[in-house]
C-alpha cells in the first residue's frame, strides 16, 4: 500500500495525498479527513526505510537511459545526478537498451527498489502505439515519471522537451534562405525526437516552395560513433549520384562524419558544403571551421526535469508538459551563408 493506492481509494489526486502527508494548509479540512480516514482504514504505514520528513520517501530518484555511452545521454546523466545531489537526493541508474521488454523490466526494477520517482532519458521510451506504452501508464500509478525530451500525455507523467520540430525547421530555412536547394538530411533515430526533427526539415522545404526529395533524406542505421562509417555512407550516396549542396544532421557526430566526407572528396566547408549539426555538443569545437549546431538546451531540460519531479513529490501542482525552444548557434561551417 502506498500513496498512489490511497489516492485511488480516496478519489483524490496524488498531489492531494502528498499535501495531507506534508500537513500542507492547501488542503481543505473535509478532504484532509477523508484522506486520513482511508489511510486508517487501509492500515497505511509509511515505508520503514523512509528518510524523508513526513513523506513516504527514500529520497532516491531512478534514472533510466538506453545507453550511458551516448554523448548526449551521458551529459544529461551528469547534469541530473549533480542537480539531484544538490537537492539532497541520491540517484539510481539503470541502462536498458532500446528493446521494449528491457525497458519494461527496468521500470519494474526501479519501482521494486522503492525510488520516489523516475526520470526517463530520451524519446526511446515512448512507443508509437498505445499498447507499447502500457508500461508507462502502469508505472505512473505507483510513482511519478518524468520524460526528458519525449512527450506522452497521461496522469502522473510529466514531459520536458525541446521543440525539435521548429529547431530543425529554423536550421533548414536558414540554408534555404541562403541559396541552398538540395539539402541532405541525415538522421539516426526514428523515435519521437527523430521524427519531429524530420518533420521540421520537410516543413521548412514546404514553407519555401522546395519539393521534398526522398533521396536527400537518409536514415543512418549503423553505429553513429563510427565516424569513418558515417563518412563512407555519405561518400556512397555521392557515388550513386545523389547531389547535395548542404548537409543537416540530427546529431553533431553525424555532422563530423559529413566533414570527413567533404575532406576526402575535396569539397570545402562552408563554401562548397555548409553543414549543420544538432545538440551543440563539444563535437562542434573539434571541427575546423567549427560546426554550426542547434542548441537544444540540455542543461535547462535537466534542471526543469528535476524541479518538476521534486515539486510533484512535494505536493505542488506543475504543468504536465514543458517545452523549450532550440537555438541555432552559427559557427564557421555555415559562414559562407
- Domain count within the chain: 3
Q: Determine, yes or no, domain membership for 333.
A: no
Q: Please classify residue 59 by burial: count the beta carbons closer than 10 Å to its beta carbon, then call 0-12 exposed, 13-18 middle and 19+ buried.
A: middle
Q: Are residues 235 and 183 in the same domain?
A: yes
Q: How far apart are CA 79 and CA 303, in angstroms?
A: 8
Place of cell 520536458: 160
- pTM value? 0.81
Looking at the DSSP bridge assignments, the partners of residue 323 are 161
Q: Are residues 25 and 126 in the same domain?
A: no
Q: Are residues 136 and 94 in the same domain?
A: yes
Q: Determine, yes or no, domain membership for 133.
A: yes
Place of cell 529547431: 167
Could you report the per-residue pLDDT of 57-95, keeping only the tens digit for each? 678 999 999 999 888 999 999 999 999 999 999 999 999
Contacts 24+ apart (CB under 8 A), 127-135: 127/100, 132/100, 135/100, 135/103, 135/104, 135/107, 135/108
Which CATH number do you get for residue 23?
A: 1.10.260.40
Q: Are residues 182 and 281 in the same domain?
A: yes
Q: Are residues 31 and 122 in the same domain?
A: no
Which CATH number do you get for residue 109?
A: 3.40.50.2300
Q: Which domain holds residue 141?
A: 60-162+298-324
Per-residue pLDDT of the chain (337 residues; tens, 9 = 90+): 677 788 888 999 877 887 887 777 788 999 988 989 998 888 875 543 443 434 456 789 999 999 998 889 999 999 999 999 999 999 999 999 989 999 999 999 999 998 999 999 999 999 988 999 999 999 999 999 999 999 999 999 999 999 999 999 999 999 999 999 999 999 998 888 999 999 999 999 999 999 999 999 999 999 888 999 999 999 999 999 999 999 999 999 999 999 999 999 999 999 999 999 999 999 999 999 999 999 999 999 999 999 999 999 998 999 999 999 999 999 999 986 6
Q: Are residues 221 and 135 in the same domain?
A: no
Q: Determine, yes or no, domain membership for 141.
A: yes
Amino acid at each position: 500500500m502506498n500513496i498512489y493506492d490511497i489516492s485511488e481509494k480516496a478519489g483524490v489526486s496524488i498531489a492531494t495525498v502528498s499535501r495531507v502527508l506534508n500537513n500542507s494548509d492547501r488542503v481543505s479540512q473535509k478532504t484532509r479527513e477523508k484522506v486520513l480516514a482511508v489511510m486508517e482504514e487501509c492500515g497505511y504505514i509509511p515505508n520503514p526505510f523512509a528518510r524523508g520528513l513526513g513523506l513516504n520517501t527514500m529520497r532516491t530518484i531512478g534514472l533510466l537511459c538506453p545507453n550511458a555511452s551516448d554523448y548526449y545521454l551521458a551529459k544529461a546523466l551528469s547534469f541530473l545526478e549533480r542537480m539531484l545531489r544538490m537537492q539532497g537526493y541520491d540517484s539510481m541508474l539503470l541502462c536498458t537498451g532500446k528493446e521494449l521488454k528491457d525497458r519494461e523490466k527496468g521500470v519494474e526494477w526501479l519501482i521494486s527498489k522503492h525510488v520516489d520517482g523516475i526520470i526517463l532519458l530520451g524519446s526511446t521510451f515512448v512507443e508509437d502505439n498505445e499498447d507499447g506504452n502500457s508500461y508507462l501508464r502502469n508505472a505512473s500509478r505507483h510513482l511519478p515519471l518524468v520524460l526528458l525530451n519525449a512527450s506522452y500525455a497521461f496522469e502522473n507523467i510529466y514531459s520536458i522537451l525541446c521543440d525539435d520540430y521548429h529547431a530543425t525547421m529554423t536550421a533548414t530555412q536558414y540554408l534555404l534562405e541562403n541559396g541552398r536547394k538540395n539539402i541532405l538530411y541525415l538522421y539516426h533515430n526514428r523515435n519521437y525526437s527523430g521524427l519531429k526533427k524530420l518533420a521540421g526539415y520537410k516543413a521548412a522545404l514546404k514553407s519555401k516552395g522546395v519539393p521534398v526529395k526522398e533521396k536527400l533524406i537518409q536514415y543512418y542505421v549503423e553505429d553513429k560513433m563510427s565516424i569513418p562509417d558515417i563518412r563512407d555512407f555519405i561518400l556512397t550516396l555521392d557515388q550513386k549520384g545523389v547531389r547535395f549542396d548542404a548537409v543537416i544532421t540530427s546529431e553533431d557526430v553525424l555532422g563530423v562524419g559529413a566533414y570527413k566526407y567533404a575532406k576526402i572528396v575535396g569539397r570545402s566547408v562552408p563554401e562548397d558544403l555548409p553543414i549543420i549539426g544538432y545538440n551543440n555538443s563539444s563535437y562542434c569545437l573539434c571541427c575546423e571551421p567549427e560546426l554550426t549546431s542547434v542548441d537544444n538546451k540540455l542543461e535547462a531540460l535537466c534542471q526543469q526535469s528535476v524541479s518538476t519531479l521534486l515539486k510533484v513529490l512535494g505536493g505542488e501542482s506543475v504543468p504536465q508538459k514543458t517545452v523549450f525552444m532550440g537555438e541555432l548557434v552559427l559557427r564557421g561551417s555555415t559562414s559562407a551563408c
